[in-house]
Amino acid sequence: MNAALRFRFRALAAAAAIATLTVAGLASTPGFAAVHDTGKGGSTRPGSHPSTTAKHGPRGYYLKFTKNWNHPDRSNLSLVHNGIPVKSYRAGSGVGVTDECRSEKGWLPNGTYQIKGHQTNRNSDIKGYAIQLSDKACRPKPEEKAITRGDLFIHSEMTKSGGRGSTEPTRWDGDTDYKSLGCIKLKPADIKDLFSRLNQAHWPKNLTLQVS
């Protein structure tokens, strides 16, 4: 066999070997890394898309508060169902302080909260529509002491009847009203919309709030 024929034979054999490995899933093919690598230090099952395998949170309905570190009063509260946001609202917590251990100033601590109850006619310092949250211990900085933040709610700025009727206008002054002593605050129309959606979902018994 002359040199030209030997070279051609070896090339054909190498191509056949690569084809066999590719079919067996043992060799890289164009686009393989883009599909299988999440780009976040992890990977998904072969043949699956990262967005369909990502962990979004608990099943069923839950609330998720996402902090805005640059503008705490422009944070986000979402109603989520099976990992998919159903509706999101602008929300605030604290007075602009991003220290969760600053009582009555900092925003609420990260973590999971149980929903303890809800009402539409609360008549205390917090009035009208309110969702009560469980207490939560903060994560202190080295020079701080851990404290437990309590009396936490999702609420608005309104009258005890929810600001209904011409004689009881809703008291909402805009950006400044997103500030709180640590509670999550929504504007009146948004908290009413949230209540409406949770009413349709029959207020799940194990409803939680995820804060991050």
pLDDT in tens, 137-146: 999 988 888 9
> C-alpha angle 208/209/212, rounded to 5°?
140
Could you report the per-residue pLDDT of 69-101, keeping only the tens digit for each? 999 999 999 999 999 999 999 999 999 999 999
79 and 35 share one domain: no
Q: How high does pLDDT run on average in the chain?
A: 78
Residue 147 contacts residue 108 (beta carbons within 8 Å): no
33 and 116 share one domain: no
Residue 49 contacts residue 35 (beta carbons within 8 Å): yes
pLDDT of residue 21: 35
- pTM of the complete model beyond 0.75: no
149 and 93 share one domain: yes
pLDDT of residue 209: 98
33 and 70 share one domain: no
Residue 135 contacts residue 152 (beta carbons within 8 Å): yes
Decide which of 14, 29, 53 is a domain's last residue. 53
147 and 73 share one domain: yes
Domain count, the chain: 2
Chain centroid to CA 113: how far? 13
Q: Where in the sequence is the domain holding 162, given as residue range(s)?
A: 61-211
200 and 108 share one domain: yes
Query: Is it the case that residue 181 has pLDDT exceeding 90?
Result: yes
pLDDT of residue 35: 27
Task: Compute CA distances 18 → 12, 25, 29, 195, whole Å.
Answer: 10, 11, 10, 60
